[in-house]
Amino acid sequence: MPNYYRSEARLLPVESKGVGGNLGGLASAAAAFGVSVPGGDSGDANFVDVLNSRWLREQLLNTEFRYHARSWLFGSEKAHKKTLYDYLEAKNLDRALKQLGVMLSASRDLKSKVISISAETTSPDLSQMIVQQTAKLLETFNREKSRTRGSAKAAFAEARLSDARKEMNEAEDAFRRFLEANRNYQTSGDPAVRLRGTRLETEFRLRQQLVTSIALNREQALLEEKNDIPILNMLDSGNLPIDKSKPARSVLVLMATLLVGAGSWIWLNRGWVRACLLAGEEDSPLSDKETS
């Protein structure tokens, strides 16, 4: 029975300033009773889903770790360099994921919103590194997901800006050709000329404003790509455990001693115990009926 050591990391997500931030108090109160409020703490709950996802755990299984471990209780520590998949010695990936589910756990406190990640292995170094690597994978996932969302907004704004500029150039060309033939259309005696010139100028000004508005939206999307990344405050980065978490050998030894003592006493007094059992069977009401 080797010693097991548990390491734990604690993360505190930053509250959103959007709808969830305005309803933060209501969402927290509802979460305490197990009720979900749209736009409330769903982002925090998604963090736990990511930690328990197959993608993250497969990445963790393929990560190579350098750690020290004892081959037996009183043996010397030896250096190891292997992936977590090799450490578990599982026959296939599905079994490795099941064993990792027992070794690694992630939970979230509904009131404090603190996310806890804990790992328990036979090596203190390995337990600490698994917890720290899991936190890094979570941060990487959040960063890439947010950048992908911001990049999609920026790409859409860039494409729309290109189309708007083409439309503005077409409106500008049409207005220029009209001005070449009608320089003073505002004072023209022909109402149709004045009306056409006003319409072309209005269309040109509108396209200019549209290009300006889309350009501002594109700049905002680029800023969101950099800034709209969920922040996870690291409260505990994962301790290096010193004392073992299990097994409780003293309790096991005490229970084994009691069982062995009871079995030895019964074996040494088996004749008396057999006589008591036979006497109890003879005195039972069922035995009296069978005798009669």
* Angle between the N-to-C axes of helices 54-61 and 93-103, in degrees from 0 to 180, rounded to the nearest 10: 100
Which is more confidently placed, 187 or 38? 187
- Residue 98 sits in which domain range? 5-146+231-236
pLDDT tens per residue across span 71-122: 766 767 788 899 999 988 888 999 999 999 999 999 888 888 888 999 998 8
pLDDT tens per residue across span 191-243: 888 888 888 889 989 999 999 998 888 887 777 666 555 566 666 677 777 77
Q: Please, which pLDDT band fits residue 13 given cuts at 50, 70 and 90?
A: confident
pLDDT tens per residue across span 148-178: 566 677 778 888 888 889 999 999 998 888 8
Q: Examine the fold and report which residue of 190, 219, 236 is the final residue of a domain before the chain moves on.
A: 236
Residue 126 lies in a domain: yes
Which residues, including other chains, have CB under 8 Å from residue 58's CB and lie 6 or more apart? 93, 97
Residue 252 lies in a domain: no
- In this prediction, residue 21 carries a pLDDT of 42
SS3 label, residue 104? strand
Residue 156 lies in a domain: yes
Taking the C-alpha atoms of residue 30 and residue 154, their distance in angstroms, rounded to an integer, is 36
- In this prediction, residue 257 carries a pLDDT of 87
Same domain, residue pair 155 and 212: yes
Q: Contact at 8 Å (CB) between 21 and 132?
A: no
Which is more confidently placed, 75 or 68? 68
Q: Contact at 8 Å (CB) between 178 and 200?
A: yes
Residue 90 lies in a domain: yes
Residue 19 reports pLDDT greater than 50: no
Same domain, residue pair 87 and 24: yes
Same domain, residue pair 51 and 158: no
Same domain, residue pair 23 and 120: yes
- In this prediction, residue 104 carries a pLDDT of 92
- In this prediction, residue 98 carries a pLDDT of 92
Same domain, residue pair 156 and 48: no
Same domain, residue pair 140 and 156: no
User: What is the residue whose two structure tokens read 């009608």?
Assistant: 182
- In this prediction, residue 147 carries a pLDDT of 61
Same domain, residue pair 15 and 137: yes
DSSP state of 4: B
Same domain, residue pair 160 and 137: no
Query: What percent of the chain shows pLDDT beyond 90?
Result: 16
pTM: 0.56
Our count of domains for the chain comes to: 2
Same domain, residue pair 223 and 157: yes
Residue 278 lies in a domain: no
Residue 43 corresponds to which tokens in the numbers above?
């982002």
Lowest mean pLDDT among 28-42, 52-66, 274-288: 28-42
Would you call 31 exposed, middle or buried from its count of C-beta atoms within 10 A (0-12, 13-18, 19+)?
A: buried
Same domain, residue pair 135 and 169: no
CATH number reported for the structural domain that contains residue 33 in this entry = 3.30.1890
Residue 290 lies in a domain: no
